[in-house]
Homo-oligomer: A and B are copies of this chain.
Amino acid sequence: MEQQIKLAVDAIVFGYHQTEGVSVLLIRRKYAPLKGYWAIPGGFVTNEESLEQAVQRELQEETGVKINYLEQLYTFGAPKRDPRQRIVSVAYFGLVKTSAYKTFQAATDADDAQWFNIDELPKLAFDHKDIIEVAIERLRSKIHYQPIGFELLDRKFPFSDLEKLYTTLLGRPIDRRNFKKKVMSLGILEELDEKAKQSGAGRPGSLFKFNKKTYNQLVKKGLHFEL
């Protein structure tokens, strides 16, 4: 008997903003089933493109977002996850600098696209809630062996941004001095001769940037980063 399975890809894209926290990019479905529900962006793979290309294309079409950090998350294939027919979906995990995308150009299958704080998710279509949970799990565990900030923060950022990101993801406070010592000892941060602009009160901090080169070397040879 002929196989009746369709192959899709989904993109769970995380962003970060120092006051709004960690958020995930969702679209509102334009068509049935579950029209009007929020869902993870994604769609069917075409015959000639790679899986990564399919993810990038769907993301582009549905939200206008282009991503540079993308990794495979997990493949979801339970027989009844879509009511219409058997759909197996390869989920990808992406990180972007939220600041680059405040508004979206939704199109094709999507009515609208929007960031949602990961603690305030709307009702989601299909098994998308489970998928996001797996993705959040991955994000949380990733901070232990990969200094994620590089993909989530602006090119230049005050040190406190990084600290807040970690505090948020860990869900507990961390010691500022110890954290800074540890991060700086990795040698992937460069301090700049520039101060952050003020956005309220308080002493402005120096700006930092990641040194992409040493960062990549470090990631390649494996890194442990316990807190």
Q: Mark A54-89, 1 if CB is under 8 A from B, else 0.
A: 000000000000000000101101110000001010
Choose from B4, B6, B47, B88 the contact partner of A51 (Cβ within 8 Å). B88
Choose from B47, B72, B79 the contact partner of A49 (Cβ within 8 Å). B79
A20 beta carbon closer than 8 Å to chain B: no
A3 beta carbon closer than 8 Å to chain B: yes
Q: Which residues of B contact A50 (CB under 8 A)?
A: 77-79
Interchain CA distance A6-B4 in the complex, whole Å: 9
Residue of B nearest to A7 (CB): B5
Q: Which residues of B contact A224 (CB under 8 A)?
A: 226
Residue of B nearest to A141 (CB): B222
Choose from B7, B44, B75 the contact partner of A72 (Cβ within 8 Å). B75
Chain A interface residue count, CB cutoff 8 Å, equals 25
Interchain CA distance A44-B75 in the complex, whole Å: 15
Known: A72-B74, A74-B72, A224-B226. A4 touches B47 (CB 8 A): yes
Nearest CB of B to A33, in Å: 19
Q: Which residues of B contact A49 (CB under 8 A)?
A: 79
Nearest CB of B to A76, in Å: 9
Contact present for A3 and B46 (CB under 8 Å): yes
Choose from B44, B46, B48, B77 the contact partner of A45 (Cβ within 8 Å). B77
Known: A224-B226, A226-B224. A47 touches B5 (CB 8 A): yes
Nearest CB of B to A3, in Å: 6
Interchain CA distance A3-B88 in the complex, whole Å: 13
Q: Which residues of B contact A72 (CB under 8 A)?
A: 74-75
Contact present for B1 and A88 (CB under 8 Å): no
Q: Which residues of B contact A7 (CB under 8 A)?
A: 3, 5, 7, 77, 88
Q: Select the residue from A5, A51, A224 with max chain B CB neighbours within 10 A.
A: A5
Interface residues of A in 1-35 (CB under 8 A from B): 1, 3-7
Which chain A residues have a beta carbon within 8 Å of chain B's beta carbons? 1, 3-7, 44-51, 72, 74-75, 77-79, 86, 88, 90, 224, 226
